[in-house]
Chain A
Amino acid sequence: MKGIASLRGGRRAVTAVLAAGLAVVLAACGSNAGTSDTVQAGPDGVDDGSELTLWTRAPLEKQANLLVEAYNASHKNKVKLTVVPNDDYVAKVGAAAGAGSLPDLFAADIVYVPNWVKQGLFKDISANVNALSFKDSINKGHLAAGTDGGKNYVLPFVLDLSMLFWNKALFKDAGLDPEKAPATLAEFAAAAKAVQGLHKDGVYGTATGLNCGGCMVFTWFPSFWADSQDVMSPDGKKSLLTSDTSKKVLGTWQDLWKSGAVLPSSKDEAGPTWTAGFTQGKVGLMFYPATLLSSTPFDVGVAGIPGVNGGASTFVGGDGIGVSKDSKKANQAWNFLNWMMSEKAQVDVLAKNNDVVSRSDLANNSFAAKDPRLVTINKVAGNGKTPVALNFQQAYNATNSPWLTLVRNYVLGDGADLQKNNDQVTAVLAQ
């Protein structure tokens, strides 16, 4: 009898363990992402020696490190930085958001910010942002991407602009003026073909990432904008890639590819090494991220990305940053954000290291004055855009996005499916 009782007890114990485990898992997973509350810490926040956690993605590691080191050196609070590989970032943030374990501060690719704000991943920082005397000078694209229902959730962390970079030595060899930027997309193509015409071993006219949706969004959209043509409707629900401008932009790249002036590895380039050809001095000119200016080891010219009929524009990319919904140290986190927007951080840290400032009132700073290319970048930033769409990642950046299919069909194929492919982009945007 005792044995049977023990047996039953054993069974009950196992059942209890199972039930308890199930309850814990379901409870943990069943909890909603939570609601965002507000940060109201006074203008400077709190600097009391707290440890803050900050996540960012790998492409902005250099700038993030500079900012964090400078902050830690001058404050009692200490920021602990975690850099996550680009491709894993969304998954990591998603998992942490579900588990309620987001870091105090986290940066996000600015094109994902509208969606993440809507999902309630950031705390409302409107009161503090509105109190900033220079609010009107903060980059408008980034600020708009992080605004929902008139409330601010995100500030610009690092601005990354797409610019036209050219290798001055290769320009000279090809008989082009190394001090003059191609003014139209046709001139860009002509310059690429001229460099290709040098027939130097391993040297190509231009390069891009034809298997990298994000790379092409970043570097090709500005050619549309410079021609005053939008790539999608203002609400971000409809793709407008069948316009005449679109056909001309895609047609230019199709011609460049077919003429052999594009670095061959561009065809399969999915992102990790899309700028390497230019950095190695093997590419004549390229639409390139401005954040790499300081690490480009030879003399380059820099200009805005030209449109079909001239003009210039840029994609104001990079990351926005906010206080996470899970932060228990929101006032200390605001102290970091407030410092990050200050002249000290923008000029003495970012501008000093050849990076773009996110306040237009600081564009003409002492460091930029020494390098006219930085002035150009800061100036073009004012004409640039940050596209806003809730389903941006799925429509454009994802590895099997319909935008990638559209570009590859047009540039590597005959472009016959443009209308169909554009409808596929719209279908995803409108979801």
Chain B
Amino acid sequence: MVKKRSRRDGNALMGWLYATPTAVFVALLFALPLLLVLKMSASRWPLLGGDKGLNFPDNYAKAVQNRFFADSLIFTLKYTILATILLIGLGLGLALLVQESSRWRNLLRASFLIPSALGLASASLLFYVLYSPLAGPLAPVMQRLGLSFLGTPNMALGSTLFLIVWRYAGFYMVLMLVGLQGIPAQVHEAALIDGASRWQQFRRVTLPLLRPTLALSTVLCVTGSLLAFEQFYILTKGGPDNSTISVVQLIYTVAFQGQNDLGVAAALSVIGLLALIVINVAQLRAFRSEGS
């Protein structure tokens, strides 16, 4: 009995020891910054002045009253919906295209995936030059057509989405490929024997069995899009006419560009975090209930 108990205690201690490094990392890199943001969001905290004491809930009121708050929320949601549809759709399409291995298909796989090796900021800078009406290689053509890549709100959004699709479609293709290859060949064979057409196979076999992959991809894509920053910071700077300000860009602007108010920026971050939690929980629940 004593021996059993001491072994159990030993196991528990080992468990603690194994968990401690991760726990320390999580505490230092996640929990502490989160606590700090919460404190900041409840304090008057100018960028150059430091902590000036609690003022809850002033920062939250100011955050909601910011003249770009509603616009940035609507724009971010619009961007997220479009980016998710495009990326998941294209990712699945490309995966189906290169699903089976052959020399040409392997080449296609590699070329779809190559852009994913580039950092988003570097890719955005590349596209900044591509889109530049002054230095870009397409500038003369666009000028003749009377168009500008970043000149109108719709063009700016479209041009940014094109960059994102170029950069991420390959990544989602790989996720989908993994999902597709996890579907046993026998299931397809059985469907074939039952006389299912290709479309019926896709609709009734592939899609339902791909649900876990689709759930993961959607959560990743929605979260990434809601946190969009680099592409807008580099390509559009929120323009033209403040039409492409994403929520994170608004946070950055409030913190570092003009208002220089870390308190209000932190309040915006907390609101964003809560929204993300709600959206992600809702998504996972939706996928789960469909699954059941």
Does A98 contact B17, Cβ atoms closer than 8 Å?
A: no
Asked if A323 lies at the interface with its beta carbon under 8 angstroms from chain B, I say no
Q: Which residues of A contact B239 (CB under 8 A)?
A: 211, 268, 270, 399
Name the residue of chain A whose CB is nearest to the CB of B252.
A91
Name the residue of chain B whose CB is nearest to the CB of A409.
B241
What is the CA–CA distance of A11 and B16 in the complex, to the nearest angstrom? 8
Asked if B101 lies at the interface with its beta carbon under 8 angstroms from chain A, I say no
Does A10 contact B16, Cβ atoms closer than 8 Å?
A: yes
Number of A-B pairs, beta carbon distance below 8 Å: 140
What is the CA–CA distance of A265 and B135 in the complex, to the nearest angstrom? 10
- With A18-B31, A268-B148, A273-B132 already in contact, the answer to whether A405 and B241 are too (CB < 8 A) is yes
Which of these, A29, A87, A90, A263, contacts B36 with CB under 8 Å?
A: A29
The 0/1 profile, CB within 8 Å of A marked 1, for residues 51-79 of chain B is 11000000000000000100000000000
Q: Which residues of B contact A13 (CB under 8 A)?
A: 20
Q: Which residues of B contact A93 (CB under 8 A)?
A: 48
Name the residue of chain A whose CB is nearest to the CB of B261.
A394
What is the CA–CA distance of A11 and B23 in the complex, to the nearest angstrom? 11
Does A26 contact B39, Cβ atoms closer than 8 Å?
A: yes
What is the CA–CA distance of A393 and B261 in the complex, to the nearest angstrom? 13
Q: Which residues of A contact B89 (CB under 8 A)?
A: none
Segment at the interface with A among B7-15, B191-199, B220-228, B267-275 = B7-15
Q: Which residues of A contact B20 (CB under 8 A)?
A: 10, 13-14
What is the CA–CA distance of A155 and B103 in the complex, to the nearest angstrom? 67
Interface residues of B in 218-239 (CB under 8 A from A): 237-239
Does A6 contact B148, Cβ atoms closer than 8 Å?
A: no
Does B256 contact A268, Cβ atoms closer than 8 Å?
A: no
What is the CA–CA distance of A115 and B31 in the complex, to the nearest angstrom? 34
**Tally of A interface residues using CB under 8 Å:** 53
Does B48 contact A121, Cβ atoms closer than 8 Å?
A: yes
Q: Which residues of B contact A3 (CB under 8 A)?
A: 5-6, 8-10, 12-13
- With A2-B9, A17-B27, A267-B151 already in contact, the answer to whether A7 and B48 are too (CB < 8 A) is no
Name the residue of chain A whose CB is nearest to the CB of B43.
A30
Interface residues of A in 11-34 (CB under 8 A from B): 11, 13-14, 17-18, 21-22, 25-26, 29-33
Name the residue of chain A whose CB is nearest to the CB of B26.
A18
Asked if A264 lies at the interface with its beta carbon under 8 angstroms from chain B, I say yes
- With A90-B256, A401-B258 already in contact, the answer to whether A265 and B134 are too (CB < 8 A) is yes
Does A398 contact B257, Cβ atoms closer than 8 Å?
A: yes
Interface set of B (CB-CB < 8 Å, partner A): 5-6, 8-10, 12-13, 16-17, 20, 23-24, 27-28, 31-33, 35-36, 39-40, 46-52, 68, 132-135, 139, 143, 148, 150-151, 237-242, 245, 253, 255-260
Pairs across A and B, CB under 8 Å, 23 listed: A3-B6, A4-B9, A10-B13, A10-B20, A13-B20, A14-B27, A22-B32, A25-B33, A26-B39, A29-B36, A29-B51, A32-B49, A94-B256, A98-B50, A264-B133, A264-B143, A264-B148, A265-B133, A276-B134, A393-B257, A393-B258, A394-B258, A398-B259
